[in-house]
Amino acid sequence: MNNQLIDQFIDFYWLTTGASQNTLSAYRSDLKIFSNWLKDIPFENVNRLLVNEYFSYRKDSKLSASSQSRILTCLHSFFQYLIEHQVITNDPTDQMNYPKLDKKLPIFLNIQEVEKLMNAPNINSTIGQRDRAMIELLYSCGLRVSELINLSFHNINLKDEFIRVHGKGNKERMLPLGEISIDYLAAYEKNVRPLLLKNGQCDSYFLSNRGSAMSRQNFFYIIKGYAAQAGIDKTISPHSLRHAFATHLVQKGADLRSVQLMLGHSDISSTQLYTHIQNAHLKTQHQKHHPRG
């Protein structure tokens, strides 16, 4: 019965929130692990004491605070669903305290490092032209890697200088294209994409060597390779360019609301992270260069 309720909840959550497959998979896994821990106890008999025991058990297995927070959010949503469908009458997670999360600033690239990364691909090669276009677009628009690799050909309008992006929860946003990225995208469309397509059919904008859609894992390794080639001594990923995009906008004076819209953040508190990065950068510069720093 527990497994059936989990499947029904995941379907409901997807239909009502439009959550990504990654989120749905994580929630399904969280609930399966919780159900297995309960053994023969049905969800209808779960109380606050049991939930607290479960989190004590997970803490002992060195579960991070962020993972604990996600699990609590998942359980709360699940028990609210059970209340709405009259399976239970009380939510055992109601008013439970979330674990305190460490505020770690993300690793981001400065402008010089972005330039080094941009110049790493060999633009005299087919693959190098594709990779340069992808990196330019990622930094130009601050895309999530999933948004980049899921772009369809009809999402990009070089003539009117914008792209249409479907972000988290399938929320659509329109983003302006910079002139440099337009040049590289135009060259990719004309010289590279037809060769990668190999007379096949694929609506994905960026293609792999096999003529199919570029995968998240493949592009992750591409970025890591170019970072090493450029001599960038930081642990970076495609998401580092999204952080760089937002940080550099804030450093140049862009208002937070505009940055929020471009990033597709539903809550401006997520965007405020980049003011913390800016403040940390200024503090470092003061300590480094001021005679009394």
152-164, pLDDT tens digit by residue? Answer: 989 999 999 999 9
Q: What share of the chain is helix, strand, coil (3-state, %, to 5)?
A: 60, 5, 30
Catalytic residue, from 58, 144, 193, 243: name it.
144
Spatial CB neighbours of 186, under 8 Å, sequence gap ≥ 6: 158
pLDDT for res 104: 62
Q: Which residue has the tokens 């359980």?
A: 75
- The verdict on whether 100 is a catalytic residue reads no
Element (H, E) at 174: strand 172-176
Residue ranges and CATH numbers for the domains of the chain are: 2-84 (1.10.150.130), 111-289 (1.10.443.10)
Residue 261 token pair? 């819209």
Among 193, 242, 243, 248, the one annotated catalytic: 242
Annotated active-site residue 116? The verdict is: no
**Catalytic pick among 48, 70, 168, 281:** 168
> Active site residue: 70, 164, 166, 239, which one?
239
Judge whether 274 counts as a catalytic residue: yes
Give the model's pLDDT for residue 159: 92
Q: In a structure prediction context, what are the per-residue pLDDT tens digits for the chain, which is 293 residues long?
A: 788 999 999 999 988 887 778 889 999 999 999 999 999 899 999 999 999 999 888 877 777 777 888 899 899 999 999 999 999 999 999 888 877 655 566 677 888 999 999 999 999 999 999 999 999 999 999 898 999 999 998 999 999 999 998 887 778 889 999 899 999 999 999 999 999 988 778 899 999 998 889 998 999 999 999 999 999 988 888 888 888 888 888 888 888 888 888 888 777 767 777 665 555 444 554 455 445 44
pLDDT digits (tens, 9 = 90+) for 130-179: 999 999 999 999 898 999 999 998 999 999 999 998 887 778 889 999 89
**pLDDT at res. 291:** 54
Distance CA 14, CA 280 (A): 38
125-139 burial by CB neighbour count: b if 16+ within 10 A, else e?
ebeebbbbbbbbbbb
Identify the pLDDT of residue 228. 93
Q: At what angle do helices 216-229 and 126-141 cross, to 10 degrees?
A: 100
Distance, CA of 151 to CA of 159 (rounded, Å): 17
Catalytic residue flag (residue 242): yes
Written as six digits, the tokens of 264 are 């597709």
For residue 168, indicate whether it is catalytic: yes
User: For residue 279, what pLDDT is reported?
Assistant: 53
292 tagged catalytic: no
